[in-house]
Amino acid sequence: MAVQAVYFSDRDGLDMALKNPETMLFTSKADADARDKILELAEEIQVFLARKVEGLGDDMAEKCAMAIAEDKDLFQRALKKPELLNAAQE
């Protein structure tokens, strides 16, 4: 039997990672670190959205923040060319 190391982000937690292994368990530390950076960015975006958008609930703020954080590269490019945000869906 072989031994394999798996990585996950502490922000997700082990229980959550085990429930969603296809998206939260990684065979490389670099991939787990990348996931952790996305989660860190999402936390900051969530706080920002909660402060800026009156009446936005925590659950919706979290979902919006994750969507933005997961597509941060697209948002960075869209700052120069806004039509890119919706061109990817077509």
Average per-residue pLDDT in the chain?
89
Domain membership flag for residue 64 = yes
- Residue 4: inside a domain: no
pLDDT above 80: residue 31: yes
Task: Decide: pTM greater than 0.85.
Answer: no
For residue range 52-67, what is the model confidence (pLDDT) as tens digits?
999 999 999 999 999 9
Phi, psi of 7 (to 5 degrees): -125, 150
Q: What is the CATH number of the domain that holds 30?
A: 1.10.10
Measured distance CA(36)–CA(84) in Å, rounded:
26
Sign of the torsion angle spanned by Cα atoms 11, 57, 61, 59? positive
Do the domain assignments include residue 83? yes
In this prediction, residue 49 carries a pLDDT of: 94
The length of the chain is 90
